[in-house]
Amino acid sequence: MRTTSLRTSMFYFIMGTLFTYLAIESAREEMWSFPTVLLMIIATLDFGAALRILALNFTNKKTSRR
């Protein structure tokens, strides 16, 4: 099975959603604890990677059509 950029971006989006959920659950105890902030940072990086890969996917499709 070939790994495409669309599948990779979906994986990062799912991981970002998971880390966001874990950060919300962790914040019930204490809002600005180290694990909560770490989970929020990881989720942000995952969402950023997913958006970057999606943008590259669409620009590659546009250039390949020409």
- pLDDT tens, per residue, the chain with 66 residues: 788 899 999 999 999 999 999 999 988 878 888 989 999 999 999 999 999 999 999 998 888 876
SS3 5: helix
Give residue limits of the domains in the chain.
Answer: 18-57
**What per-residue string of b and e applies to 22-58 under the rule 16 or more CB within 10 Å gives b?**
bbeebbeeeeeeeebeebbebbeebbebbeebbeeee
Sign for the CA dihedral angle at 20, 26, 28, 30 comes to negative
Give the pLDDT confidence score for residue 55 in this predicted structure: 95
Give the pLDDT confidence score for residue 14 in this predicted structure: 97
